[in-house]
Amino acid sequence: MLDIAGDLDRWVRQGHDFAVATIVSVSGSAPREPGAALAVNDEGTAVGSVSGGCVEGAVYELCRQALEDGRSVLERFGYSDETAFAAGLTCGGTINVLVTPVRGGEPARDVLASALSAVCSGETIALARTVGGPAELMGRPLVVRPDGTYEGALGSQVRLTRIAAAEVRAMLEAGRTGMLVVGGDGDGAYCGEPITLLVESSAPPPRLIVFGAIDFASALVRLGRFLGYHVTVCDARPVFATRARFPEADEVITDWPHRYLETTQVDERTVLCVLTHDAKFDVPLLAHALTLPVAYVGAMGSRRTHEDRVTRLREAGVPQRKLDRLRSPIGLDLGARTPEETALSIAAEFVAARYGGTGRPLTGTRTPIHRDTVTAAPFAPQPAEVATARRSA
């Protein structure tokens, strides 16, 4: 439900009651992932989506019912071929949807309101809600912050709530959204029964740092913003690194690229794109970038430029295992020519790296269309069948 936090926060402040339907789990092919939500308020207004249209009508009615009777329900929607108008997923998958009422005067409303306000303020939090276990705990919320503090409770057992908060905090640190079971084997269980939680993690947007204030960078900045990244452009040349040339960037930095990278904050979601293809900038920058636990490091240049760059990096002492993490020539082979097409090829590669995609056409393959989580090996060498795009120096 955190994907529609802005709308829900506004409803809370306006005093509306509402019900939220959230995807808990997905099997097979489905258009939305766990955490995606649709909400309906007491005026009948709906926001969000759980299926892209397949089952929205049925979920809307479940939300209206939850607003009336105040009960949380867990509903399953799967493929139905009995009639074209049956509530089912035409893509053939199955989704489980938790429908939770949020009404005035209930303790859960205050906990959810705190989570929504925090997300809208850009804070890092995790929201956990009970989706399995005793019926009286269904939909019960727990908000956990990075320092381990939490709001809410899973019933009357304080120890169970503390165990759950610690486990949710670990998922928050990893930036994960998914299912969590606490109280297994009777440890902290609620009346001997384990509790299943849906955990949604909300963190500030991932960073895309573009080194090299060139025309390709301008297109990549626009695409990065569209994909939800916080975009920084860095170049040592003040005549090129200007706000006028990059109005859509969140930051424009004039500094030597390697010096800026040594002082700025990055994490395992950060994408680094080196577009300068100039050895005096690239070599010190990449020598440091390849030591960092970031999601992606790519460098622009022709194959000849790449070979020269790798030779210089080896001479600078960069070991082969770190060089294997470098995506160069940058991007997937789309036959791109214009800056916009090239930006698309670069973005396609770092999205594939994030989720473990192959970069191959889905036609004729049986690979999953949607990945459940971020890949655990963002720096795995490119598959042999994925050709990289040619770039001119």
What does each of the 393 residues of the chain score in pLDDT, given as a tens digit?
A: 888 999 999 999 999 999 999 998 887 666 678 888 999 999 999 999 887 666 888 899 999 999 999 999 999 887 553 433 344 444 557 888 999 999 988 888 999 999 999 999 888 999 999 998 888 888 899 999 988 899 998 877 788 899 999 999 888 877 778 889 987 655 566 666 788 999 999 877 889 999 999 989 999 999 999 988 999 999 999 999 999 999 999 999 999 999 999 999 998 889 999 999 888 999 999 999 999 999 999 999 999 999 999 999 999 999 999 999 999 999 999 999 999 999 999 999 999 988 788 888 878 777 666 554 443 333 333 333 333 333 333
Q: Where in the chain is the domain with CATH 3.40.50.720?
A: 207-355
Total-model pTM: 0.62
Identify the architecture of domain 207-355 in CATH.
3-Layer(aba) Sandwich (3.40)
Distance (Å, rounded) from C-alpha 127 to C-alpha 98?
A: 14
> Are residues 77 and 95 in contact, defined by beta-carbon separation less than 8 angstroms?
yes
